[in-house]
């Protein structure tokens, strides 16, 4: 009833309502009995009642019924008993402290281990606008942070709010999206120091950002990729039969914002869902006595040692310490031709090379090489295996596996556990790359050769890499949209510029407005009603940014000083914008010209 009343109140006030249901894992079993007694005393229960609760929770006698038979009795001092009518009340008393940290305006409902939190807010737009005020203060024209840093603040504090829950907000109509995009556009404008008359496509081209709705679409597709990787055992989507191997069920595809685009993306990338590297639950390799990972504790793993000495140390270590072990080396390679890997069994002189889907990263390829080497080469129970790889990042990920780690790392951990019965011991060893260690050079050469060969592509692909590709594709599509706008011909320099200089805020804004042709000349001020005429008083022609920089007779003497500073005779607007961004001397000359006009 309380939730219903909150919902009606938010609806009448045209507010958004947010509700979260929390499920505590092993809730009753995790209760500390003495803590329950302490909190009963805090709320005013004392004397016989508190003593009875303490006796009730300690030395509980339990039995388990299985197929009609009872086990032997045993005692337990852990948690509150399941199925007892008083347990929900004791658990609620145990969680009573949670109400002290609930902020005003948030409703918290608790019954037993079911916790429900409700709050309402006028809108995401208002929250973002509030933070926009902070941004305006930080990014003042006369002083303030650099544009790069302000854009990071925008993305972290404001854009993240607008795109939160992208899988759900994709249902919103164009009107709702337009409200959020207005906030996003204002944020980008303040961060870059641009005026309100700067066209939106030009703002995106200058800042290198993409549209909020496009990012939301990419996040929706990324969400689906993650769930297809989790599979039937871990994904609620797969469990609820909303997805099929061919993609999405038609009814779900129509309702899900990323559905159709998801299928088009996979089709264009020539990717099959069946080839995703599946998620497996992380294992703990540290608890296995026969498994060890060496990354910096061996003599040849010290970076300060000269390369020839490293090679000698490695050879000596192999001959003395590992002479009775089977030696394996792996490597991977990526280039314009594609992605490939190689696994070499040095002891038995066996080589295995494969090509992977070109969207896979080097990290995934290195991990696949280790995975395949474990599955194909570790087969003798009475032998110890030394697996050498130059991928420090893959080996580091195996030190402490977590469910959020890349799926290829989780698969390697699972493969190592399966390989324990097939081996005496397994050592994973990092070897420095490109220092002349023979087995590493052999593996590298084999991987490079496989990359340009006609070997069939091994059908596996990492969804982590696919998710990165999605955002690159969205950025490419944004670039294509920019090139199709009417502004592109006048701003061909914008997408190609890599801004490397950190300047004082005022100077940075001057250069940014020069690049975007948004310096407040008479022509621009006339368009927004701040000037009575767009014409230059001295020249009698439209007073645009190009006119100011290239032809206005008032500033001809300043241009005569600018030309030798730039090392050029004829001035061109786009060229000046480019060179002033990449060359510090040219930047100083252009800034001196703009400041000497006494207009800005």
Q: Please choose, from the candidates 19, 168, 14, 199, the residue with its C-alpha nearest in 3D space to the C-alpha of residue 107.
A: 19
Which tokens in the block code for residue 265? 């993306």
Cα pseudo-dihedral 413, 419, 421, 422, rounded to 10: -160
More confident residue, 107 or 12: 107
Confidence of residue 235 (pLDDT cuts 50, 70, 90): low
Provide the 3-class DSSP secondary structure of residue 242.
Answer: coil
DSSP type of residue 84: -
Which tokens in the block code for residue 380? 């003798």
List the single range of 224-228, 445-449, 595-599 with lowest mean pLDDT: 224-228
pLDDT for res 1? 58
Average pLDDT for residues 460-464, to the nearest whole number? 89
Look at residue 245 and tell me whether its pLDDT is greater than 50. no
Which tokens in the block code for residue 577? 């914008």
The DSSP bridge pattern shows strands 106-111 and 114-121 to be: antiparallel
Cα–Cα distance between 498 and 516 in angstroms, integer? Answer: 15
Terminal CA-CA length for the chain: 61
The 10s digit of each residue's pLDDT in 113-138 is 777 787 766 555 566 666 666 555 55
**Under 8 Å between Cβ of 417 and 425:** no
The 10s digit of each residue's pLDDT in 321-360 is 788 889 999 999 999 888 999 999 999 999 999 999 889 9
CA of 228: how far to CAs of 257, 269, 338, 552, in Å? Answer: 16, 16, 25, 62
Look at residue 394 and tell me whether its pLDDT is greater than 90. yes
Residue-wise burial string across 266-286, b where 16 or more C-beta atoms lie within 10 A, e elsewhere: beebebebeebbbbbebbebe
Packing angle, helices 200-207 and 174-192, rounded to 10: 60
List the single range of 103-112, 365-374, 508-517 with lowest mean pLDDT: 103-112
**Under 8 Å between Cβ of 401 and 285:** yes
pLDDT for res 143? 56
Which tokens in the block code for residue 200? 């939106």
Tell me whether residue 569 is exposed, middle or buried, using C-beta atoms within 10 angstroms of its C-beta: 0 to 12, 13 to 18, 19 or more.
Answer: exposed
Mean of pLDDT over the chain? 82
**Under 8 Å between Cβ of 77 and 60:** yes
**Under 8 Å between Cβ of 267 and 247:** no
Half-sphere exposure of 420 (CA within 13 A, CB side): 12
Which tokens in the block code for residue 520? 């407040």
Cα–Cα distance between 486 and 412 in angstroms, integer? Answer: 51
Provide the 3-class DSSP secondary structure of residue 350.
Answer: strand
What is the set of domains in the chain, with CATH numbers? Answer: 1-121 (no CATH), 124-274+462-495 (no CATH), 291-460 (3.30.420.10), 519-597 (no CATH)
Cα–Cα distance between 257 and 216 in angstroms, integer? Answer: 9
Say how far residue 24 (Cα) sits from the centre of its chain.
27
DSSP type of residue 490: G
Average pLDDT for residues 470-482, to the nearest whole number? 86
**Under 8 Å between Cβ of 184 and 213:** no
**Under 8 Å between Cβ of 86 and 40:** no
Average pLDDT for residues 496-508, to the nearest whole number? 71
Average pLDDT for residues 459-478, to the nearest whole number? 86
pLDDT for res 367? 95
Tell me whether residue 593 is exposed, middle or buried, using C-beta atoms within 10 angstroms of its C-beta: 0 to 12, 13 to 18, 19 or more.
Answer: buried
Half-sphere exposure of 465 (CA within 13 A, CB side): 21
Tokens 């002033």 belong to 580
Look at residue 558 and tell me whether its pLDDT is greater than 80. yes
Which tokens in the block code for residue 509? 């804004």
Look at residue 7 and tell me whether its pLDDT is greater than 70. no
Which tokens in the block code for residue 334? 């990526």
Confidence of residue 292 (pLDDT cuts 50, 70, 90): very high
In degrees, rounded to 5, the angle at the alpha carbon of residue 533 between the alpha carbons of residues 527 and 536 is 110
The DSSP bridge pattern shows strands 326-335 and 338-345 to be: antiparallel
More confident residue, 462 or 252: 462
Cα–Cα distance between 149 and 134 in angstroms, integer? Answer: 14
Q: Show Cβ contacts of residue 9 under 8 Å, excluding neighbours closer than 6 positions.
A: 120
Cα–Cα distance between 303 and 291 in angstroms, integer? Answer: 25
Cα pseudo-dihedral 503, 505, 506, 507, rounded to 10: 20
């Amino acid at each position: 009833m309380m939730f219903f009343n909150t919902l009606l109140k938010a609806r009448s006030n045209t507010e958004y309502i947010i509700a979260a249901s929390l499920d505590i894992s092993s809730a009753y079993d995790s209760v500390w009995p003495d803590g329950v007694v302490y909190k009963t005393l805090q709320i005013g229960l004392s004397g016989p009642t508190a003593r009875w609760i303490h006796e009730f929770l300690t030395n509980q006698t339990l039995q388990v019924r299985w197929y009609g038979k009872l086990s032997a009795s045993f005692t337990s001092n852990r948690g509150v008993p399941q199925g007892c009518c008083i347990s929900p009340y004791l658990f609620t008393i145990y969680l009573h402290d949670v109400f002290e940290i609930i902020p005003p305006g948030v409703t918290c409902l608790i019954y037993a281990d079911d916790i429900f939190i409700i709050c309402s807010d006028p809108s995401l737009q208002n929250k973002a606008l509030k933070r926009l005020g902070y941004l305006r203060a930080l990014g003042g024209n006369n002083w303030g942070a650099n544009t790069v840093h302000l854009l990071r603040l925008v993305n972290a504090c404001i854009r993240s709010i607008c795109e939160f829950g992208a899988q759900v907000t994709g249902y919103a109509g164009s009107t709702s999206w337009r409200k959020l995009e207005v906030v996003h556009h204002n944020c980008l404008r303040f961060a870059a120091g641009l005026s309100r008359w700067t066209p939106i496509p030009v703002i995106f081209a200058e800042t290198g950002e993409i549209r909020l709705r496009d990012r939301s679409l990419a996040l929706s597709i990324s969400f689906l990729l993650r769930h297809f990787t989790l599979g039937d055992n871990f994904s609620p989507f797969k469990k609820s039969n909303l997805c099929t191997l061919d993609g999405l069920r038609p009814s779900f595809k129509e309702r899900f914002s990323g559905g159709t685009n998801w299928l088009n993306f996979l089709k264009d990338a020539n990717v099959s869902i069946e080839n995703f590297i599946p998620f497996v639950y992380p294992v703990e390799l540290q608890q296995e006595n026969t498994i060890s990972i060496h990354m910096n504790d061996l003599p040849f793993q010290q970076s300060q040692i000269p390369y020839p000495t490293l090679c000698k140390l490695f050879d000596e270590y192999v001959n003395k310490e590992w002479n009775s072990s089977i030696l394996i080396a792996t490597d991977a390679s990526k280039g314009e031709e594609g992605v490939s890997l190689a696994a070499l069994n040095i002891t038995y002189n066996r080589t295995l090379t494969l090509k992977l889907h070109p969207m896979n990263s080097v990290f995934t390829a290195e991990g696949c090489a280790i995975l395949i080497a474990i599955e194909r080469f570790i087969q003798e129970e009475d032998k110890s295996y030394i697996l050498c790889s130059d991928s420090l990042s893959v080996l580091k990920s195996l030190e402490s596996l977590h469910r959020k780690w890349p799926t290829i790392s989780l698969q390697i951990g699972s493969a190592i556990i399966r390989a324990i019965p097939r081996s005496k011991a397994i050592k994973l060893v990092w070897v420095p790359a490109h220092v002349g260690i023979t087995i590493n050079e052999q593996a590298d050469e084999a991987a490079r050769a496989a990359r340009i060969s006609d070997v069939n592509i091994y059908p596996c692909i990492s969804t982590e890499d696919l998710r990165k590709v999605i955002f690159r594709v969205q950025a490419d599509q944004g670039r294509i949209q920019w090139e199709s706008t009417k502004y592109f011909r006048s701003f061909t320099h914008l997408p190609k510029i890599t801004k490397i200089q950190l300047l004082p805020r005022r100077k940075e804004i001057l250069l940014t407005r020069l690049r975007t042709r948004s310096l407040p000349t008479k022509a621009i001020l006339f368009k927004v009603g701040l000037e009575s005429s767009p014409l230059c008083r001295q020249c009698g022609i439209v007073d645009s940014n190009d006119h100011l920089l290239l032809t206005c007779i008032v500033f001809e003497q300043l241009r005569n000083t600018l030309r030798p500073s730039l090392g050029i005779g004829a001035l061109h607007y786009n060229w000046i914008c480019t060179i002033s961004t990449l060359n510090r001397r040219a930047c100083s000359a252009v800034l001196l010209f703009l400041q000497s006009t006494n207009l800005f």
